[in-house]
A and B are shown apart, each in its own frame.
Chain A
Amino acid sequence: MPLPDAERLCTVLADSMRPGLHPDTTLVGIHTGGVWVAERLHAALGLKTPLGCLDVSFYRDDFSRSGLHAQIKSSDMPFEVEDRPIVIVDDVLYTGRTIRAAMNEIFDYGRPARIDLSVLIDRGGRELPVCPRWTAQAMELGSDKNLQLERSEAGGLTLRLVDA
């Protein structure tokens, strides 16, 4: 199956978001792929607000089954969350559990004005009532496969299909 071009999807996503942005809109990428996409969007949209990033490992709902994963990054939210419109950015949306964890984490920093969700790919398979406001592309993917965003040394983004 030919995979879409991730760089092109970033452009598509930025174009679809542009009309709905507020001057205070602040992007928050989810480690790791979501942060790369958020960086692209931040530049493409010319946002003046700082960029946040979250590692949701501490809020995952499978901790009691699988413990902490190695190489947890620090979350970095260099702004006041209180009353701010926030857009969570992720590369691939699947069950929605990561987004649930991200929303819980954001509320530990304060009460945002609103939270929207922007994803490069929505692959279906939701297990929670999570719906993105912006999606660059939707595609059906079996539960035996995972879609991964990768970044080359030169900084180029590509999608890769791996076995789950």
Chain B
Amino acid sequence: MHNPQLNRNGALQHLLTIDGLPREILSDILDTAAPFTEVAEREVKKLPLLRGKSVFNLFFENSTRTRTTFEIAAKRLSADVINLNIGTSSASKGESLLDTVDNLCAMQADMFVVRHAVSGAPFLIAQHLAANGRDHIHVINAGDGRHAHPTQGLLDMYTIRHYKKDFTRLIVAIVGDVLHSRVARSQIGALTTLGVPEIRVIGPKTLIPADVDRLGVRVFHDMRAGLKDVDVVMMLRLQSERMQGALLPSPQEFFKYYGLTADKLCCARPDAIVMHPGPMNRGVEIDSAVADGQHAVILPQVTFGIAVRMAVMSMLAGT
């Protein structure tokens, strides 16, 4: 089946999801990101790759951190960046998603970074661009509904590779609210493609999708058992704002059983790393002592995220 993210030559045209991307492309993105990390240490933190290009950040859903890191990445590549908070603009006046896109195309957009509450919205935009012969415009999914958040998945992979080098010997645990997490889906897809032999998901039954084992992961409801001997602990944010009904007794109860404490972390390997996509709920999914402790690589994740986004934007702009 044709992958809508790839062009006729098999190069990346859009980044919509990690699902279906071959290992070579994932590795290519990670390899390309590495030299971009060094740019942040220069006097002038700017490269000319996207000079003269216009990048539109289309955020139909709020996310200060993701929008900011995309904005920094695009600006360090010398692009002109236009931020649109659509929630507070045309959409509320009744304009359709594709009308908004057409209008921005008429303003000579070169790239759209899209965050939308509805799964599949970035795909719809990519299809619409292709149907109108606008192959020079690229789309990056910055999170769509419960579906995917591919640059987060990629920056997590970059972080793991940075600290652990070889994917093929690792045990990785994803902990917490898997049900509402687009990050978890992207992580599982990327870890599988890159050859991680054992992926575990840990959480209460109410927050683990019923069919998650079809993705080839091992499910644990007991956190200590799930953390035994893992190399990488990937915490997820408890997404209270997406919860409807009684999925959890209380945040305190959640912390008791699934909050990452130094004590529970002792079950993992002594050199395990702890990751979190942010924003963190301290005292809910992670204890402050762990979040600020020596195993945590949460702030490096943010720094690497800029390099990974620069790599993705450059690769797209170069096709």
**Residues on A close to B: CB < 8 A?**
55, 57-59, 63-64, 66-68, 70-76, 81, 104, 107-110
Task: List residues of chain B with CB within 8 A of the CB of A73.
Answer: 35
B contact residues around A104 at 8 Å (CB): 48
Contact of A67 with B315 at beta-carbon distance under 8 Å, contacts A58-B48, A108-B42 already known = yes
Give the Cβ gap from B242 to chain A, nearest Cβ, in Å: 37
Stretch in B26-34, B67-75, B214-222 with 4+ CB within 8 Å of A: B26-34
- Decide if A74 touches B318 in the complex (CB within 8 Å): no
Is the C-beta of B319 less than 8 angstroms from some C-beta in chain A? yes
Report yes or no: B31 in contact with A70, Cβ–Cβ below 8 A.
yes
Task: Please tell me if the beta carbons of B43 and A109 are within 8 angstroms of each other in the complex.
Answer: yes
Which residues on A sit within 8 Å (CB–CB) of B106?
none
Q: How far is the CB of A80 from chain B (nearest CB, A)?
A: 9
A19 vs chain B, min Cβ distance (A): 32
For the complex, give the distance between the alpha carbons of A43 and B47 in Å: 32
Extra pairs beyond A58-B47, A70-B32 (5, CB < 8 Å): A68-B49, A70-B28, A74-B35, A75-B35, A108-B43
Complex Cα spacing A71 to B42, Å: 21
Taking a contact as CB atoms closer than 8 A, the residue among A68, A76, A110 that contacts B315 in the complex is A68
- Contact check, B48 vs A59: say whether CB atoms are below 8 A apart: yes
CA distance A55 to B34 in the complex (A): 12
Q: Out of A58, A108, A110, name the residue touching B49 (CB < 8 Å).
A: A58
Set of chain A residues within 8 Å of B246, measured between Cβ atoms? none
Q: Whole-angstrom distance between the alpha carbons of A74 and B32 in the complex? A: 10
Measured between alpha carbons, how far is A58 from B49 in the docked complex, in Å? 6
**Chain B residue at minimum C-beta to C-beta distance from A75:** B38
Q: Is the interface of A mostly helix, strand, loop or mixed?
A: loop
**Residue B44 at the A interface, CB < 8 A?**
yes
- List B296-319 residues whose CB lies under 8 Å from chain A: 314-315, 317-319
Q: Name the 4 nearest CB pairs between A and B, nearest first.
A: A67-B318, A108-B44, A74-B35, A58-B47
Q: Show 17 A/B contacts (Cβ-Cβ < 8 Å), sorted by A.
A: A55-B35, A58-B35, A59-B47, A63-B49, A64-B318, A66-B318, A67-B317, A68-B314, A68-B315, A70-B28, A70-B32, A72-B31, A72-B32, A74-B34, A75-B38, A109-B44, A110-B43
Indicate if the CB atoms of A108 and B46 lie closer than 8 Å.
yes
Q: List the A residue with the shortest CB-CB distance to B44.
A: A108
Whether B42 pairs with A63 at a CB distance below 8 angstroms is no
Interface-central residue, B28, B35, B319, by most chain A CB under 10 Å: B35
- Given contact pairs A63-B318, A76-B38, A68 touches B32 in the complex (Cβ within 8 A): yes
Asked if A71 contacts B31 (CB within 8 A), the reply is: yes
Most buried by B among A58, A59, A75, A107: A58
Query: Which residues from chain B contact A108 at a C-beta distance below 8 Å?
Result: 42-44, 46
| Smallest CB separation, A31 vs chain B (Å) | 10
Which residues of B sit under 8 angstroms from A109, Cβ to Cβ?
A: 42-44
Q: Which residue of A lies closest to B310 (CB)?
A: A58
Complex alpha-carbon distance, A147 and B28, angstroms: 28
| Complex interface bits, B33-55 against A, C-beta within 8 A gives 1, otherwise 0 | 01101110011101111000000
CB neighbours (8 Å) of A67 from chain B are 11, 315, 317-319
**Which residues of chain B have C-beta atoms less than 8 A from A55's C-beta?**
35
> In the assembled complex, how far is the CB of residue B28 from the closest CB belonging to chain A, in whole angstroms?
7
Return A96 CB to nearest CB of chain B, in Å. 17
Contact A68 B318 (CB under 8 A): yes
Name the residue in B34, B42, B319 with the highest tally of chain A Cβ atoms < 10 Å from its Cβ. B42
Q: Tell me the smallest distance from the CB of B79 to a CB of chain A, in Å.
A: 13
A71 to B27, CA, bound (A): 11
Closest to B316 in A: A67
Q: What is the bound-complex CA distance between A163 and B123, given in angstroms?
A: 43
Contacts of B47 in A (CB 8 A): 58-59
Q: Which residue of B lies closest to A76 (CB)?
A: B38
A66 to B317, CA, bound (A): 10
A63 to B44, CA, bound (A): 20
Which residues of B have CB within 8 Å of A75? 35, 38
A70 closest partner in B (C-beta): B28
Residue of B nearest to A55 (CB): B35
